[in-house]
Amino acid sequence: MSNAVKTIGVLTSGGDAPGMNAAIRAVVRTGIANGLHVKGIRRGFAGLLEEDIIDMHTMSVTDIVQRGGTILFTSRCEEMRTPEGQKKAADICRKHGIDGVVVIGGDGSFRGAQKLSENGINTVGIPGTIDLDIACTEYTIGFDTAVNTAMEAIDKVRDTSTSHERCSIIEVMGRGAGYIALWCGIANGAEDVLVPEKYDYDEQKLINNIIESRKKGKKHHIIINAEGIGHSEAMAKRIEAATGIETRATILGHMQRGGSPTCKDRVYASMMGALAVDLLIAGKTCRVVGYRHGEFVDFDINEALAMQKGISDYQWEVCQSLSHNYDKNNK
Contact 173, 252 (CB under 8 A): yes
DSSP reduced 3-state for 157: helix
Closest CA to 181 of 154, 201, 202, 157: 154
Helix axes 143-163, 263-281, angle to 10 degrees: 160
DSSP reduced 3-state for 226: strand
CA 200 to chain centre: 25
**Which residues touch 275 (CB under 8 Å, ≥6 apart)?**
289, 296, 298
DSSP string computed for 173-216: --TT--HHHHHHHHHTT-SEEE-TTT----HHHHHHHHHHHHHT
3-class SS shares of the chain: helix, strand, coil, % to 5: 45, 20, 35
- Whole-number CA gyration radius for the chain: 22
| Distances 191 to 144, 224, 322 between C-alpha atoms, Å | 22, 8, 8
Contact 118, 89 (CB under 8 A): no
User: What's the residue count for the chain?
Assistant: 331
Beta partners for residue 297, in sequence order: 290
What residues are labeled active site? 131
